[in-house]
Structure 1
Amino acid sequence: MTDFDMHILGCGSALPTTRHLPSSQIVRLREKLFMIDCGEGTQLQMRRMHIRFNRLNHIFITHAHGDHCFGLPGLISTLGMLGRIGDLVVYGPRDVNDYLTPVLAQFCHHLPYKVVFREVDPFKHALIMEDRSIQVYTIPLKHRIPCCGYLFREKQKEAHIIREMTDFYQVPVRMMKDIKQGADFVTPDGTVVPNARLTRPAVRPKSFAYCSDTAYSEEIIPMIEGVDLLYHEATFGEEDLARSRETYHSTARQAAEIARQAQVKKLVIGHYSARYDDMSQLLSEAREIFPDTLAGNEGMVIPI
């Protein structure tokens, strides 16, 4: 198991089917869990996938359409019954809070913990959350109502000390932190030992972008350029291109075109329309443009 991965809980669209659940994902960075969207059935999928509820502290909602947030009140209630006491932070456009506040007032007014809502501007690409290991940014999307995706960027880790070299140059323990952060070492006789001789570079930081729901929009390309994993909605096939434009959604081919232009490492498609019984058509259309494409499915765990 890698220390940074994405778990698909649901990758269907608005109309319920027996094949797919509404949108929801978990991003795991070591012991931290971040949820993106929370459609109906999310907490049941967490049980099936053995995801620990108590490690979830941040939930990012893209927009106030039911297939992306109808599971949120139930999950919040369950966390209370499980004895949660720490704050739960929910991020999303203002419409999400307009939906959530009266529902929680009616059904969850005796929670043993606090739900903190942090409004995001869905029309701006901005840093909205940061801790010691990760940064989360909004990605403005093109949909029928205010909607944003989310970009997760792992922070650069400190370099690895080469113990044999620091012992050889007798580097004091008190200087190890500075050495890890890039400082050179000056010996007592004034000799400068380059940092590159004392350390090995850390593993390159990884990144994940989640873009659902959205019409085809090249404006997001600079924001997601070069990410290791892109999840982009592919609600329709090319035969339903006109319908995708009416509903402000994307086709599988359009999702692949975004991935190609952004030079991402891997693409995962999802948010499938209920009209498709077989996703192989959508996968084939995407792979014609971007070969390193996966068709998302419930239960998948994809390394980032």
Structure 2
Amino acid sequence: MATAKVDGLAPYEAEDVVASRSSRDALARAAMYVALAAAWIATCGSLYMSEVLGWIPCLWCWYQRIAMYPLAVILAAGLVLRDRNLPKYALCLAVPGALASVYHILLQKVPAFARFESCVIGVPCSADYLNLFGFITIPMLALVAFVIVIVACVIALGVREPASENYLAQGPLAVLPPAASVGLIVAAIVALFVLSGAMTRSRQPASSIVSSAPAAALPAGASREAAAARYEQACAGCHGPANAGMQLIRAEYLRTHSDLEVMALIRAGRSATDPDNFSGKAMPANGGQIGISDEELVALVRYLREVRGN
């Protein structure tokens, strides 16, 4: 077997250097595949939550998606093309994404950050679709994925040998032509979207109902303007700013149930897979609002009945 040469070193010393380089490059290469797996798992999980479970992303969820989704493509393309600077490219997205996740967690878990709420329309950034054990939330899962990518990139940058052969050239994808590898990645992305669409529950919209019942008056101490403002803040993102959006104002549930029953529904929320949910989208508990009082809920329900005309 031929022995690799290293200038200025004896043959036995050269073998040790080559073995050391090979070990470090293998570790760096493996780290980038770990980063790729983390990015793809996070991307697929994000799409599953929004497209299958019907969890509507908030503004800061989208910021994290903007960082994570390109990572899934860049890491795959960098490994296919065997780009030695791939860790640097990935860090440019992973670090801002991790910072966005940390800020989103603070918005959800630290009351003092509520005054910095930037999701003034649509799903509130403080809404918790997922809250396992009191701390495992969607931005927490995103932060874990970003941290894995960051650590993997730091390892790849720290252990590789600057003068050695490109450590990505010996990866598993190297056995495939670059064009074939890119084709497999594109096919996987298309299959993911097709699967997500097939799994989304199709719903029939509720029929439009016209009622001649008189409008209910708003309770004392809760102005119509305050109720309208609460609607715009908590509900308009999904149900429409003109009060005629996603099966809310025309919903039969509002006509056939009492104020207390409607309030209980708002308090509990409704999952996307609920048989009575015709929108296919999840409704967060309390509309994703923190600290909404019973009086405010009563005012909101009466406001909905007033603008609907029953």
Q: How does the TM-score come out when normalised to structure 2? A: 0.23
Q: Which has the higher strand share?
A: 1
Q: Looking at secondary structure, tell me which structure has more helix per residue.
A: 2
User: Which of 1 and 2 has greater Rg?
Assistant: 2
Question: Which is bigger in relative contact order (C-alpha 8 A, separation at least 6)?
Answer: 2
